[in-house]
Amino acid sequence: MVKISPSLMCMDISKFEEQINYLNQTVDYYHIDIMDGHYVSNMTLSPWFIKQLKDHTTIPIDAHLMVTNPIEYVDQLLDLGVEVISIHAEYLNGHAFRLSEKIKQHGKKMGVVLNPETPLSLVYDYLHLLDIITVMTVDPGFAGQTFISESLKKVRTLKTVREERKLVFEIQIDGSCNEKTYQMMIDAGADILILGSSGLFNLDDSIGKSVEIMKNQLSSATSEIKSF
């Protein structure tokens, strides 16, 4: 049973209301990439965008912080009612236990993001605190990159560790989630797929048609798909 999380940095902002109103009927999360031009050399969405989005949806929002000082964003995101705050492991270390307590006190979820070259050993000591682990299958910062298949080894390992330690985190994949990769991602153990240009928004000029195509592609890729 895989969940769907559109990456809104890939949407057509000129059709914001139309696309959000349609997606509200069928998705599980919205993935918001917040970039500051420093951690990655790109700048995209912001807490201001989330504030506008909240006026149009009740779908849970996952804020992916690709910024040099992610901890400074946490209070603002909690005030905005963001459901999941996802921070790259390199920046979460040294803050994980304290931050987990704060986020859980607000009834929200803590996530960690693993770049393709980030070892799992970096997060082993606080796996039990995590609600969502995002495995990047591209380098962070830009849409449309080549799929890094080696990252799926992390997904398989996380699935095994979760079962062995009886943990409850969900495994999310970010990067090149599309018709060519759905089956291998789900087989590896993905619970949530972040869909961007190739998996959703560039499938058709109509968001309704794009969603229909996406559903058909997912259904063709696996029988382990949720009922939409």
Tell me which residue has tokens 């390199």: 90
> Backbone dihedral region of 88: left (phi > 0), alpha (psi from -120 to 50 degrees) or beta?
beta
DSSP track, 129-194: G-SEEEEESS-TT-SSPPP-GGGHHHHHHHHHHHHHHT---EEEEES--STTTHHHHHHHT-SEEE
Q: Which of 33, 62, 131, 191 is catalytic?
A: 33
Residue 174 known to be catalytic: yes
Q: Which of 62, 131, 174, 191 is catalytic?
A: 174
Q: Let me know the angle formed at the C-alpha of 212 by 209 and 214, rounded to the nearest 5 degrees.
A: 110
- Enzyme catalytic residues: 33, 174
